[in-house]
Structure 1
Amino acid sequence: MTAANLEAMYQEIILDHYKNPHGKGLRDPFEAEVHHVNPTCGDEITLRVHVEDGKIEDISYDALGCSISQASASVLNDLVVGKTVDEAMVVHEEFLRLMQGKGQVEPDEDILEDGIAFAGVAKFPARIKCALLSWMAWKDATAQADDRALTEER
């Protein structure tokens, strides 16, 4: 597959997640809710995470912003729901590595699945924050949920 064909396929994946978002709409139950804003462009997300017995049972969100930020939230939902918190953190770290790689990182398709479509985004520093917005919100919400679980155990 040529680089141009690959880039077109990646753009199609992002557009599909933007037009048909997975996990969109705030739902109950949840252990933590966070609101993040990208001050550079104004994208914003409110994200809820439901963790039960160390497993990500649900991620729900309401988002406003560009196709990249909204598609990234949809991909996040697909990649971490159903995984343990530890497994989901591995996915988070791989996505972060891809985004910080300035387009020079070969994404691990086994871990990132549709997330590899954001490889081209990593070449544009102004867009990286858009792609990472939901991931940072998820990490913060999951940390809050973990803190609450630890407090309840005491």
Structure 2
Amino acid sequence: MEIPDELYREVILDHYRSPRHHGKMEKPDVLEWGKNPLCGDELELYLTVNGDKITDLKFDGKGCSISQASASMMTEAVVGKSLAQVKAIVSDFKGMMMEGKPADALPDDLEDAKSLEGVQKYPVRIKCALLSWNTLLEALKKLESRKAA
């Protein structure tokens, strides 16, 4: 079923105006920083893990509506998921953004994130949409390296 672009715009604006999981965290397990040098988007990602599950994830920073909405959507999609599930969710989202995987093929966890499919048409904006997702992958790498040590 084709969803009108206007509905997608509303979803993006809703996440931009009322971001979920926005703010700083007092004692995160991991704090990771990301920046998009092309447009100046900046992001701090605060991650708390219990066992193999993300129990809390917050973001703070400044940037365009795409980067901020995408970060909000990402946090909603991954909080409460196992690290393996999170990696799969990130892979699915990146597949849509970078490889043209159809939004309809994405799992329900990415329902709101499907609204960013249209960003593919603007290659310079893809990095805006991916900033938080790539920063999350870096945070997971940091977490895994600590566990291995």
TM-score, normalised with respect to structure 2: 0.93
- CA displacement at 1:26 relative to structure 2: 0.9
Deviations 1:77-102 (A, max 9, x none): 0000000000011100000001103x
Moved more, 11-20 or 105-114: 105-114
Match of 1:119 among 114, 117, 120: 117
How far apart in 2 are the matches of 1:87 and 1:109?
A: 11
Is 1:105 the equivalent of 2:101?
yes
Gaps of 5+ in 2: none
Aligned-partner Cα distance in 1 for 2:88–2:109: 8
Q: Equivalent residue of 1:100, what SS?
A: helix
What aligned pairs does 1:40-51 form with structure 2 within 5 A after superposition? 40-51=38-49
Aligned length: 147
Instruction: State the Cα RMSD in Å.
Output: 1.4
Q: Is the 8 A contact 1:49 1:145 kept in 2?
A: no
Is contact 1:55–1:84 with CA below 8 Å preserved after alignment?
yes
Q: C-alpha distance in 2, partners of 1:54/1:119?
A: 30
Name the residue aligned to 2:55: 57
Equivalent of residue 131 in structure 1, options 125, 129, 132: 129
Percent identity of the aligned residues? 39
Q: TM-score, normalised by structure 1?
A: 0.90
Runs in 1 of length 4+ with deviation above 3 angstroms? Answer: none
Cα offset for 1:109? 4.6
Is 1:10 paired with 2:8? Answer: yes
